[in-house]
Amino acid sequence: MSEEEDVDFDVIVVGAGPAGSVAAALLARAGRQVVLIERGETPGSKNLSGGVLYGRVLDSVFPGWLDEAPVERIITRNVIIFLTETGKVAVDAVDPALGEPVNAVTVLRAKFDAWLAEQAEAEGAFLMPGVKVDELLTEKTPEGSTRVVGVRAGEDELHARVVVLADGVNSFLARQAGLRTKPRTNEQAVGVKAVIQLDEQVLQDRFGVDATHGAAHALVGECTQGVGGGGFMYTNKDSVSIGLVLRLDDLLARHQDAVSLFESFLAHPAIAPFLEGGEMVEYGSHLVNEGGLAMVGEIHGDGYVIVGDAAGLTLNTGLTVRGMDLAIGSGRCAARAIGEALDKDDVSAQALARYRQLLDSSFVGADMRTYAKAPAFLERPRMYTEYGPLLADVLHRAFDLDTAPREHLLTTARRALKNSPVKMRELVSDALAGVKAL
């Protein structure tokens, strides 16, 4: 098909996650003919994430969204926990200022993604749920590159001037068409997550939060039993989202399985009391990008752009896992670049390079660059094995007031370090690398 021939839509968006729905909503708002295709029976039904949305980016897309969107709790309590075999060491930051203006909220994707897709529909996008796109329709340009001209779903073919690939972490469509390569195992992690329903008042008492605010717990140490990765525990209205994110290469190398690690995590003495009496109402597993900036690569070409997870736009800093806000930010940049390209009647790779330019100069590009060294730092194994017990030992020695003469904290810390497999030079090197990376 040549560019001059009839097309069914200006833009086809594949995937009604945060990236796709926002791109579709903004393009439809600008008067474009947009179809949003989602394989799930309802948007969000197949989606999974920890659930903390750093949502300020939505203020510019849907002003007043916080009053309408199905958000669970406003996060004003952040707890960082090193789990040891039987206990924990925690930093507990309660900061009401994080609620004014609202910085982060918890969401349940089945409700939140459905709401986002509804907004795209309300702007005029045509939503097609329950349809899986099987492949991209492509043709060769006179210059020999691949031009995306539409999609095939079963027997049906749809043509458009631009296709937005918002199909999530596996990015099957782009890989199948040879537009992206398969990520390496150290660039991805497997996430296992459950939602545990609890009585609302019980939840508030256990997590020390009121009726509207919530807590986000980030965990490292024993929860992954030495495997690179960490855990999370986030409060919803009357449920807890709890999960592990485990680096694939390390999981394979250590012959561990994600499900057993997750079960041990739920039963850990510092975790089980939070969940006691709750009922598991959701359970699932999903890949997470871990490669940071290095895995982003080419994200536009003739007739297409790639957004959100499909483009590798996820950031794990150890303290926060971010993907939804970056997905929304990339959807916003894509919509603007596509709008400009359609105005100029030029959807070539050169014209759509504007997407990359907008992305790089937005908070998405800036944050991907800031945390470019985080993946390599988080590959250091001591993070997951030795630092938790070392910290616990220092604190044990500080608080264990037997009748032996006391020592200054520095001497106590030195003794604990001597007792641990961590060498002083490793501690210094990790501390410096951590300061530079995070």
Ligand X SMILES: Cc1cc2nc3c(=O)[nH]c(=O)nc-3n(C[C@H](O)[C@H](O)[C@H](O)COP(=O)(O)OP(=O)(O)OC[C@H]3O[C@@H](n4cnc5c(N)ncnc54)[C@H](O)[C@@H]3O)c2cc1C
Q: Is 38 in the site for ligand X (CB under 6 A)?
A: yes
Q: Is 194 in the site for ligand X (CB under 6 A)?
A: no
Residue 259, H or E segment:
helix 258-267
Least distance from ligand X to the Cβ atom of residue 237, Å: 16
Measured CA to CA, the distance from residue 196 to residue 186 in angstroms comes to 30
Q: Which is nearer to ligand X, 94 or 319 (CB)?
A: 319
Q: Is 179 in the site for ligand X (CB under 6 A)?
A: no
Q: Which is nearer to ligand X, 169 or 266 (CB)?
A: 169
Q: Which of 351, 304, 353, 360 is nearest to 330 (CA)?
A: 360
Show the beta-strand stretches assigned E in 31-184. Answer: 34-37, 52-54, 71-83, 88-94, 104-107, 126-128, 135-140, 146-153, 156-165
Identify the residue among 13, 20, 55, 290 touching ligand X (CB under 6 A).
20
Tell me how far the alpha carbon of residue 379 is from its chain's centroid: 18
Under 8 Å between Cβ of 110 and 248: no
Q: Which is nearer to ligand X, 93 or 432 (CB)?
A: 93
Q: Give per-residue burial for 86-124: e unless 16+ CB within 10 Å, then b.
A: ebbbeeeeeeeebbeeebbbbbbbbebbbbbbbbbbebb
Identify the residue among 88, 193, 300, 354 touching ligand X (CB under 6 A).
193
Least distance from ligand X to the Cβ atom of residue 265, Å: 13
Least distance from ligand X to the Cβ atom of residue 248, Å: 12
Least distance from ligand X to the Cβ atom of residue 193, Å: 5
Q: Is 108 in the site for ligand X (CB under 6 A)?
A: no
Q: Is 314 in the site for ligand X (CB under 6 A)?
A: yes
Q: Is 47 in the site for ligand X (CB under 6 A)?
A: yes
Q: Which is nearer to ligand X, 7 or 242 (CB)?
A: 242
Q: Is 388 in the site for ligand X (CB under 6 A)?
A: no
Identify the residue among 23, 83, 136, 245 touching ligand X (CB under 6 A).
245
Q: Which residue is nearest to ligand X (CB)?
A: 323
Which stretches of 30-134 are DSSP H helices? Answer: 65-68, 109-123
